[in-house]
């Protein structure tokens, strides 16, 4: 039981507002009766308590169901807001927090906020976003919508700016990657790096890594497939020209060998930066690779030491970077080791339009291992292949066993592309024998010798 002390001249509506605030129950859910359980009507709101016969000592009863009804209604509204928020997020719309200021008796709070006004400064700061608000791409919280309605679209409080800052992406460095380490085949790495070495590091090169994702979260790289590619001389950026048919063959062969794509590698001239940083175009490409090949996909960078020998470094980009690239919120900068944003973001508590490579990349430990595969055949897309390459390969490696000749992914791709062996009928048995290090069935070697002759 709650006791109220009121003036005799107040209306029943004013009395209801007092009860509403005290019990924290919305006005529309407040159902009151007299002691005789006779319900008050909406027409009673404008009458005074005296006129209604309410005097000192009278008991006013709140229906118990009021609280249940309000709870049910709030749950419905909350569910509806969650559904709308999911829908808007799917459409790329920014959603404002719901502060729950919806009842008439809360207008006082809105009026208090309106007194914190500086329209000139706010108009200048907020003009760029007004069109987006009108188009519905930015949905403000309820109390700010009311103020816009009452004071005009060009009048918003400074709290809008604070709220918009809260919705901006906060760029932070991710300490650990999804991949805990890389085992990198040194033969494949050296064969790959030899391309840039032979061109005096003037033409960079990229390739896809094929291997396995291990149970502990590490990645083992067994060979490198080099897709068709083009280099822009001024920027030294490499563009991959996908050959879908060839890549499908390579994936099919690797699957039969128990392998799959696990990342990409790029080889280029020595870095200008002394710090171990990825270039901006490499970060964007790495994000696309991780989105395409899976969260454990890695980036390996090969560049020469002072001695000229290859040095390999492994990286991943953060999960946040993958999402930013997916949503097309970043772009290349004029600076090699910086990414630009299309809209301001928060970087180390400051509003910025760009951020350095450090914020996007994660260094991954890398060690060298020896794969069960070889690198003896001409590597794809460094020059045109023809059937005469088979004779050269067999003559050059005539002292080697058929197991060594066949255990070369580039040679297997050649056999598939030239339709010498069938991916459906010949490769399953051949790849199983290679994978298990078994003796190659003599039928395969006889077929090659017949084809050679």
User: In the predicted model, is pLDDT for residue 281 greater than 60?
Assistant: yes
Bridge pairing between strands 138-139 and 330-332:
unpaired
Residue scoring higher pLDDT (287 or 88): 287
Instruction: Answer with the residue of higher pLDDT: 266 or 152.
Output: 266
Q: What is the pLDDT of residue 133?
A: 62
Answer yes or no: is 175 within a domain: no
Q: Flag whether pLDDT at 411 surpasses 60.
A: yes
Same domain flag for 306 and 393: no
Banded pLDDT at 310 (limits 50, 70, 90): confident
> What six digits make up the tokens of 342?
């299309």
* Judgement on whether residues 105 and 48 belong to the same structural domain of the protein: no
374, part of any domain: no
How much is the pLDDT for 21?
74
Domain-terminating residue out of 85, 108, 126: 85
Average pLDDT (302-306) is: 80
Same-domain check for residues 292 and 338: yes
Residue 379 belongs to a domain = no
Contact predicate 378/393, CB 8 Å: yes
194, 271: one domain? yes
Per residue in 323-354, pLDDT (tens digit) is 999 988 888 888 888 999 887 777 876 777 88
Read off the pLDDT of each residue in 299-303 and give the average, rounded to a whole number.
Answer: 92
Q: What is the mean pLDDT of residues 92-106?
A: 41
pLDDT at 248 > cutoff 60: yes
Give how many domains the chain has, as a whole number: 4
Does 361 lie in the same domain as 256? yes
Q: Determine the 3-state secondary structure of 88 from DSSP.
A: helix
CA distance from start to end of the chain: 106
> Is 116 in the same domain as 186?
no
Same domain? For 75 and 102 the reply is no
Question: Do 119 and 262 belong to one domain?
Answer: no
Same domain, 411 and 302: no
Residue 31: give its domain's CATH number: 3.10.20.90
Whether residue 445 is contained in a domain is answered as yes
The rounded percent of the chain whose pLDDT value lies above 70 is 73
Q: Is 375 inside any structural domain?
A: no
Structure tokens at 119: 């329209």
Tens of pLDDT, residue by residue over 116-160, are: 434 444 555 555 555 666 666 666 665 556 555 554 444 444 455
Query: Domain range spanning residue 126?
Result: 93-167
Same domain for 64 and 117, yes or no, is: no
Burial class (CB in 10 A: 0-12, 13-18, 19+), 18: middle
Question: Within this chain, do residues 326 and 219 fall inside the same structural domain, yes or no?
Answer: yes
Per the listing, tokens 């200021």 go with 101
The pLDDT assigned to 67 comes to 53
Q: Is residue 408 part of a domain?
A: yes
More confident residue, 429 or 21: 429
Q: Tell which residue, 305, 273, 308, 268, has the closest CA to residue 285.
A: 268
pLDDT exceeds 60 at position 164: no
Q: How far apart are CA 387 and CA 425, in angstroms?
A: 21
Poorest-confidence range of 37-51, 83-97, 106-120, 346-360? 106-120
pLDDT at 329: 87
Domain for residue 347, yes or no? yes
45-70 pLDDT, tens per residue?
778 877 777 776 677 777 665 555 55
Q: Are 218 and 324 in a shared domain?
A: yes
Q: Which of 113, 134, 167 is the last residue of a domain?
A: 167
Statement: residue 225 has pLDDT above 90: yes
In-domain check, residue 317: yes
Mean pLDDT over the full length of the chain = 79
Last residue of a domain, one of 53, 85, 117: 85
Q: Is 351 exposed, middle or buried (0-12, 13-18, 19+ CB in 10 A)?
A: exposed
Question: Regarding predicted confidence, which is higher, 71 or 276?
Answer: 276
User: Tokens 């906060």 — which residue?
Assistant: 170
pTM of the prediction?
A: 0.66
């Amino acid at each position: 039981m709650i006791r109220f002390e009121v003036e005799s001249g107040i209306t029943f509506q004013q009395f209801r507002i007092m009860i509403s605030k005290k019990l924290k129950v919305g006005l529309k859910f407040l159902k009151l009766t007299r002691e005789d359980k006779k319900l008050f009507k909406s027409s009673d709101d404008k009458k005074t308590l005296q006129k209604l016969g309410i005097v000192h000592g009278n008991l006013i009863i709140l229906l118990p169901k009021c609280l249940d009804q309000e709870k049910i209604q709030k749950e419905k509204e909350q569910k509806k807001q969650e559904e709308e928020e999911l829908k808007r997020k799917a459409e790329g719309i920014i959603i404002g927090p719901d502060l729950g200021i919806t009842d008439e008796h809360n207008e006082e709070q809105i009026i208090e906020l309106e007194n914190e006004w500086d329209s000139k400064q706010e108009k200048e700061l907020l003009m760029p976003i007004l069109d987006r608000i009108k188009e519905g791409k930015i949905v403000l919280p309820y109390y700010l919508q009311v103020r816009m309605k009452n004071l005009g679209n060009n009048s918003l409080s400074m709290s809008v700016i604070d709220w918009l800052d809260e919705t901006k992406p906060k760029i932070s460095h991710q300490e650990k990657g999804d991949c805990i380490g890389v085992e990198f085949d040194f033969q494949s790495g050296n064969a790959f790096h030899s391309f840039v070495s032979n061109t005096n590091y003037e033409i960079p090169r990229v390739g896809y890594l094929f291997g396995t994702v291990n149970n502990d979260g590490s990645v083992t790289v067994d060979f490198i497939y080099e897709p068709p590619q083009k280099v822009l001389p001024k920027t030294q950026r490499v563009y991959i020209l996908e050959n879908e048919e060839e890549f499908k063959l390579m994936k099919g062969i690797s699957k039969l060998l128990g392998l799959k794509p696990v990342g990409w590698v790029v080889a280029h001239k020595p870095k200008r930066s002394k710090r171990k940083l990825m270039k901006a175009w490499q970060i964007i490409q790495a994000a696309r690779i991780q989105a395409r090949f899976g969260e454990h996909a890695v980036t390996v960078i090969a560049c020469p030491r002072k001695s000229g020998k290859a040095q390999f470094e492994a990286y991943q980009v953060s999960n946040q970077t993958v999402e930013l690239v997916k949503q097309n919120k970043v772009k290349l900068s004029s600076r090699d080791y910086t990414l630009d944003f299309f809209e301001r973001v928060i970087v180390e508590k400051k509003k910025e339009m760009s951020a350095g490579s450090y914020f996007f990349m994660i260094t991954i430990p890398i060690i060298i291992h020896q794969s069960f595969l070889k690198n003896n055949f001409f590597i794809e897309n460094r020059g045109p292949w023809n059937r005469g390459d088979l004779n050269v390969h067999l003559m050059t490696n005539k002292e080697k066993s058929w197991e060594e000749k066949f255990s070369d992914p580039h040679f297997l791709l050649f056999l598939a592309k030239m339709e010498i062996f069938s991916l459906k009928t010949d490769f399953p048995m051949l790849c199983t024998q290679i994978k298990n290090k078994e003796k190659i069935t003599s039928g395969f070697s006889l077929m090659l010798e017949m084809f050679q002759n």
